[in-house]
Amino acid sequence: MFAALLFATAVAKKVPDFLPNAAASKTVTVVARGQAQKSIVILTEAVAIKETGPKETVKAFGEVYAFSPTTISVHRDEPTLITFWNLQGDDEHDVMLMDDHNNVLMKVTLPPLKKTAYIFTFHREGVFTFTCTLHLPEMSGQVLVFPPSR
């Protein structure tokens, strides 16, 4: 009963997935299918976990995960396929993308042992931040959006 209640609370708290709405799509367009000019893979790396340790690190920090790489660069208006590989068999991750004013643009779940891919086209140059809401603050990274290449 108690466990079920805890579970229900966790589920209720979980932010549902969403892609950029009409306003956010002026900053970044995100689609599941289409033509991309570039492809980037981002892994979910287990830095310190209860199964493999180091034990003292897990004791001090809890389980620690990281996106790898943490910084990627794209060009403005260049459709870029970004594929997240969740390498963990028993841990869900997610990715929440924010603009340079910390406005949340989208959030999608990264299920265990699955590749999650979208084509991102950024329409504004600048520094965007992405983070896993389940492993804050360490599991986060940046997208640097540069001027068009030609």
Which residues here bind Cu ion, judged by CB under 5 A?
Answer: 65, 93, 132, 134-135, 139
CA distance 26 to 22: 7
CA distance 44 to 132: 10
Nearer to Cu ion, 75 or 93 (CB): 93
Nearer to Cu ion, 92 or 99 (CB): 92
The per-residue b/e assignment along 84-120, b for 16 or more CB within 10 angstroms, e otherwise, is bbbebeebebbbbbbbeeeeebbbebbeeeeebebbb
Nearer to Cu ion, 93 or 107 (CB): 93
Nearer to Cu ion, 107 or 135 (CB): 135
In whole angstroms, the minimum distance from the beta carbon of 79 to Cu ion comes to 26
Residue 21 CB neighbours (<10 A)? 10
In whole angstroms, the minimum distance from the beta carbon of 140 to Cu ion comes to 9
CA distance 120 to 90: 27
In whole angstroms, the minimum distance from the beta carbon of 91 to Cu ion comes to 7
